[in-house]
Structure 1
Amino acid sequence: MSSDANPDASTDPLLFGQRMQMLRTRRGMSRTVLAGLVGRSPSWVKQVEGGRLQTPKLSMILRLAEALRVGNLSELTGAERSRPTELFIGPGHRRLPEVAAVINAYPLGPATTSAVSSPRHLRARLDRAWRARHSAPNHREVVGSLLPELIRDAQLAARQADSGPQRRAAQAVLAEVYSLAQFFLAYQPESAMLWRVAERGMVAAQESEDPHTIGVSAWLMAQAHRDTGPSHYEAADQVTMETLRYLEPLLPDASHEVLAITGALRFEAGYTAARRGDAGTAWRFWDAARVTADRLPFSYFHPVTSFGRTIMGAHAVTVAVELHAGGESVRQARQSDTFTIPSRPRSARHRIEKARGYQLDGQPEAAVATLEKAYEAAPETIRYNGYARRIVLEESEARPLHRRRRAADLGVRMGILAV
């Protein structure tokens, strides 16, 4: 859910291959790994970096940008070939300044004596916020409007708690408010703030001593590490596995919430393995997550992770896509259509994963058609998703006119292409 700090790409003149090598090494990525991610050989990567091959076409530049997790194509191509296109860091939302202001505030005086919401009242407000997020097509707008007051009130409740149980309950709510903030901040140009919120959420979760709260904060911390790039995969695994070791002894008598966060963490382990290209481990953890999901009621849907029985088909698509198995991605996508995901943003995210599978399988028109459905479900999900942006930009350069027009129309609606 975050992006690595942008490398200094201002030391012009650098050749394309030199920039590519600099970005690759700063991400801790081998030539073999990068080659696998873009469907080429390690020798091809070496020749491009060494300047023995010409700068690739736009479609390959976009794939390299996706694999290297660059924010703007100018990081890879140089300022002289810059396009106003951010990939894994989307545009700043209009609510970002007010959310950032309250996150950056550090009250240093004594806690105010004014009335403070109880943890129980804050929990009810937070539950309403999660429901609003799942039902709203423009979910960042909804969450961004609610977060400032929620953060201030949860911080105040934690400071004013005057007993151990009340303090732990307040810290649990505060940790989950920070979790909601991470969903808002993801893929926006404030990656440092996202890390700050993730760390605060982990501290508050530990203070709460609540297994479910600890699991949720760890789940989001693992995502932050994994999405930073290959050099953080080990840290993502460490957070995931340590938390699973903590939760698994509790499972025989666990609540639905603890079961769900355990299943979500098991899938996260598989997700990271898939990013590494370890198919056996990825599917083993997916299967462990499915076994956990089967212990939940069919209609159960975890409000933070979206985990439940209906999400496992979508998770299977994600594993296949991350393993770059186009045919398997499409097969899993067809099977996953049996279920309905009760969340607009999560449903849109699933359609984006399906679109990635169609493109891997050589079906670009199906990919764009699926992204159109994702846009209908939740415009703010697709607008901030780097994979969706890359597919649309690549198709806007396709040779057949009808494909270019369809992709360009979607790109205009997403705000990444000019009219």
Structure 2
Amino acid sequence: MSPDTPDPYSDPIAFGQRVKILRSRRGMTRDQFGGLTGKSASWVRAIEEGRLKVPRLEIVLRMAETLRVRDLSDLTGDQSVHVSLFTGPGHPRLAAVQAAVNAYPLTGGREAPTTEHLRARLARAWAARHSAPNHREVVGSLLPELIRDAQLAVWRADSADERRSAQSALAEVYSLSQFFVAYQPDAALLWRVAERGMIAAQESEDPHTIGVAAWLVTQAHRDSGPAHFGAADAVNLETLAYLEPLLPDAPVDVLAITGALTFEAGYTAARRGDPGTAWRYWDTAGAMANRLPVDYYHPITSFSRAIMGAHAVTVAVELHAGGESVRQAARADASTIPSRPRRARHRIEEARGYQLDGQPDAALATLAQAHEAAPETIKYNGYAKRIVLEETQAKSPARRRRASELAVKLGLLAA
């Protein structure tokens, strides 16, 4: 952006100008942006040029969702009301995690933990993340010491084999960290964690560790908007090319991370609006899932036989196919997903499908189930918050009341 271009985060500029600047930053054409918000390119142009007035709240919220704005005021310019969407409130544990990520242990008398000790702590941390409704609080309390100890283990490694093993553990600690820092108000920290995780994974030379780090870097790129979809594919497909020759003799965790990456390629294709490619990758990932033991569940990505139904809902929702989203939701069994945050995210995807299909009451009921499963997941999810805010303006008094009650629980409205 040139120095003469106004900044929508600081200058009191018109709504249409904000839309144009934010759309351009996301790398979207008017045609793409209009398609994702259910409008034409000519409508977008008329909004940006000020020939149409600011649309009703329902449309503004969908525009904010598509642009993934940090706060609704970034789009509307109204600084009197702040509603965070895709960046949630800063978690109380964030400062301690930031400090641990930014520090490096170069001196000091502490003894470095063994890799086996780090692995045992990581296993407990992942189990806690999947089982706790307040999973960010639990993970945030464990991360500072885990980060420092894993960094120290790499620094104090005595041999090449020890160093590779320690790098693998450090990469996994960074992977756990990325789950915590996602949607926190520090994008630079997210990228620092993702990139350090990828570097540590490469240094470990361990296929599974490399696959997990690439899976998370792919997501970081995709969530940055259409201009970064190519980067997401580049990381994803390069890692698949590395892993696929290993599959005939690969252990189950390598097969699972390869399946997870295969689905991620379909997820990005769905975001791009390419249904043929999206469903082709979903089919391929499903075949890989069927090669896993019936009760297997990947401890980081949740990839399993059980998750493929949830993945189908995600593909349909990202393709904006409301009817297909609802059909896939009816086939998916959320009760088979053991991870509370992953189950909550699936409920949010189902709610998006119901909203697309014109069933707002079902959408709100499903979001209430997401909140029951993992309150911290829905609290940081912009799609869920958009639906709730939209329905607080519904014509139906009963629906307005249910939406307002949920909005209070999410911190979107005062009690």
- TM-score of the pair, normalised by structure 1: 0.96
Provide the residue aligned with 2:101 in structure 1: 103
Percent identity between the two aligned chains: 69
Q: Deviations over 1:169-211 (max 9, x none)?
A: 1000000000000000011101110100001000100000000
* Partner amino acid, structure 2, of 1:387: Y
> What CA deviation, in whole Å up to 9, does each residue of 1:123-168 have, x standing for no partner?
0110010000000000000000100110011110011010111111
Q: Aligned partner of 1:142: which letter?
A: V
Tell me how far 1:329 sits from its aligned partner: 0.2
Letter in 2 for 1:177: V
After TM superposition, give the deviation of residue 10 of structure 1 in Å.
4.4
- Alignment match, 1:277: 273
Residue 55 of structure 1 is matched in structure 2 by 54
1:37 equivalent in structure 2: 36
Q: CA deviation at 1:8?
A: 2.7
Q: Which moved more, 1:35-44 or 1:322-331?
A: 35-44
In structure 2, what is the equivalent of residue 114 of structure 1?
110
- In the alignment, the residues of structure 2 paired with residue 209 and residue 392 of structure 1 have an alpha-carbon distance, to the nearest angstrom, of 45
Name whichever of 366-375 and 98-107 sits farther off: 98-107
Unaligned runs of 5+ in 1: 1-6
Matches within 5 A, 1:237-252: 237-252=233-248
Instruction: Report matched runs for 1:3-402 at 5 Å.
Output: 8-10=7-9, 12-80=11-79, 82-107=80-105, 109-110=106-107, 112-337=108-333, 340-402=336-398
Amino acid at match of 1:315: H
Q: Structure 1 segments of 4 or more deviating over 2 A?
A: 10-13, 112-115
> Which residue identity does 1:296 align to in structure 2?
L
Distance in 2, matches of 1:382 and 1:131, equals: 20
SS of 1:117 mapped into structure 2:
coil
* CA-CA distance at 1:339 after TM superposition: 5.4
Distance 1:279 1:48 in 2: 29
Q: CA deviation at 1:49?
A: 1.1
Aligned to 2:3: none
Deviation of 1:314 (Å): 0.2
CA distance in 2, matches of 1:303, 1:85: 33
> Which SS does the other structure have where 1:79 is aligned?
coil
The 3 A distance-change label for structure 1 pair 117 and 331 is same
Higher RCO by CA contacts (8 Å cutoff, separation 6 or greater): 1
Larger mean CA deviation between 348-357 and 13-22 belongs to 13-22
CA-to-aligned-CA distance 1:261-313 (integer Å, 9 cap, x gap) = 00000000000000010000000011111011011011111111010100000
8 A contact 2:157–2:163 mirrored in 1: yes
Q: State how far apart, in whole Å, the 2-side matches of 1:171 and 1:417 are.
A: 44
TM-score, with normalisation over the residues of structure 2?
Answer: 0.97
Please tell me the residue identity of whatever aligns with 2:296: Y
Cα displacement (A) at 1:338: 6.9
Q: What SS class does the counterpart of residue 240 from structure 1 fall into?
A: helix
Residues in 1 aligned to 2:10 and 2:170: alpha-carbon distance in whole angstroms: 43
Deviation of the 1:44 alpha carbon: 1.1
Give the residue type in structure 2 aligned to 1:190. Answer: D
**1:337 Cα offset (Å):** 2.1
- How many Å apart are 1:26 and its aligned residue? 1.3
Structure 2 spans left out of the alignment, 5+ residues? 1-5
Greater Cα offset, 347-356 or 35-44: 35-44
> Which string of whole-angstrom CA distances, capped at 9 and with x for unpartnered residues, describes residues 79-124 of structure 1?
35x52201100001111111111111133x44x4532210011101
Contact in 2 for aligned 1:170/1:208 (Cα 8 Å): yes
CA distance in 1, matches of 2:139, 2:13: 41
**What amino acid does structure 1 have at the position aligned with 2:44?**
V
The 1-side partners of 2:408 and 2:354 are apart by: 22
8 Å CA contact 2:71–2:85 kept in 1: the answer is yes
- Mapped to 1, the partners of 2:349 and 2:360 lie a distance apart of 13
Deviations 1:314-346 (A, max 9, x none): 000000000000000000000002751010000
Counterpart code for 1:57: R
Q: Deviations over 1:364-388 (max 9, x none)?
A: 0100000000000000000000001
Contact 1:18 1:50 survives alignment (8 Å): yes
Cα contact 1:310–1:339 (8 A) shared by 2 = no
Q: Which residue of 2 aligns with 1:416?
A: 412
Equivalent residue letter for 1:91: P
Separation in structure 2 between the aligned mates of residue 337 and residue 257 of structure 1, nearest angstrom: 23
* Alpha-carbon contact 2:104-2:151 (below 8 Å) kept: no
In the aligned structure 2, how far is the partner of 1:364 from the partner of 1:53? 27
Q: Provide the rounded CA distance (Å) in 1 between the counterparts of 2:49 and 2:265.
A: 35
Q: Secondary structure at the match of 1:301?
A: coil
* Alpha-carbon contact 1:90-1:187 (below 8 Å) kept: yes
In structure 2, C-alpha distance between the alignment counterparts of 1:47 and 1:114, rounded to whole Å: 63
CA contact (8 A) 1:186 1:194 kept: yes
